[in-house]
Amino acid sequence: MKVRFRRLLLLGLSVAFVVSLSTSLVLAQSSDEEIPRALSGGLLFFALVCGLVFYVYLALALQTIATKTGTPNAWLAWIPIGNIILMLNVAKKPLWWFLLFLIPLVNLVMAIIVWMGVPKLVVSPTGGAFL
């Protein structure tokens, strides 16, 4: 399953990259002055598609974890600020930690601490975490 998913992901990213670059190259054929704009537009489109795929993946993962832990309101994984609150609920951390997520660089440390707290709560019957 993982191998097939990785192949499909690699194929999808490759196709998106080729389509975005080919589109930008076709647009760049109109004049020489527009080549940098067309290429940057194609790369920006590719970055947006990759960002969207990453966000959907993280939202699905958080919703699945919330469902398996029995945390209410698993749909909060799809709301940008709500997913932080859901993460704190899943990890059984206090809600005032949300304020720490608003501070630059501190939010990275807090995200690591919260995500490290999730596998401690979700353990499979064989003794290993499902993450």
The answer to whether residue 91 is domain-embedded is: yes
- 128 CA to centre of own chain: 24
The answer to whether residue 21 is domain-embedded is: yes
Give per-residue pLDDT as tens, 35-81: 666 677 777 888 888 889 899 999 999 999 888 888 888 889 999 88
The answer to whether residue 68 is domain-embedded is: yes
Instruction: Report the interhelical angle of 106-121 vs 82-90 (nearest 10°).
Output: 40
The answer to whether residue 75 is domain-embedded is: yes
Of 26-30, 81-85, 95-99, give the lowest mean pLDDT range.
Answer: 26-30
* Full residue range of the structural domain in which residue 26 is found: 2-121
Question: Which secondary structure element, helix H or strand E, spans residue 81, and what is its range?
Answer: none
The answer to whether residue 102 is domain-embedded is: yes
Q: Give me the number of domains the chain comprises.
A: 1
